[in-house]
Amino acid sequence: MAKVEMLVVKSKVREYAKKKKVNLGGDAADALSREVMRLVDRAVERAKANRRSTVKGRDI
């Protein structure tokens, strides 16, 4: 699979998972980053549909 641009900090995600007493697979941070991209893309579309150039919390 193609390498994705990281939008999450792997060490922070790994630290959070460790607090939950689970390990983080090598591909989990990449998958999370892709999910964040999808979330932002949907929020951008919603903001544009409302004629705004600023994404707000309600768009997410």
Is 14 within the bounds of a domain? Answer: no
48 is a domain residue: yes
Torsion sign over Cα 40, 44, 46, 52: positive
Provide the number of structural domains found in the chain: 1
Q: Is residue 19 part of a domain?
A: no
pLDDT of residue 5: 86
Q: At what angle do helices 10-19 and 28-49 cross, to 10 degrees?
A: 110
Whether 5 maps to a domain, the answer reads no
11 assigned to some structural domain: no
Q: In the chain, which stretches have pLDDT less than 70?
A: 1-4
- Give pLDDT, residue 1: 55
pLDDT of residue 48: 98
In a domain, 9, yes or no: no
User: What is the pTM for the complete model shown?
Assistant: 0.82
- Note down the domain range covering 49: 28-60
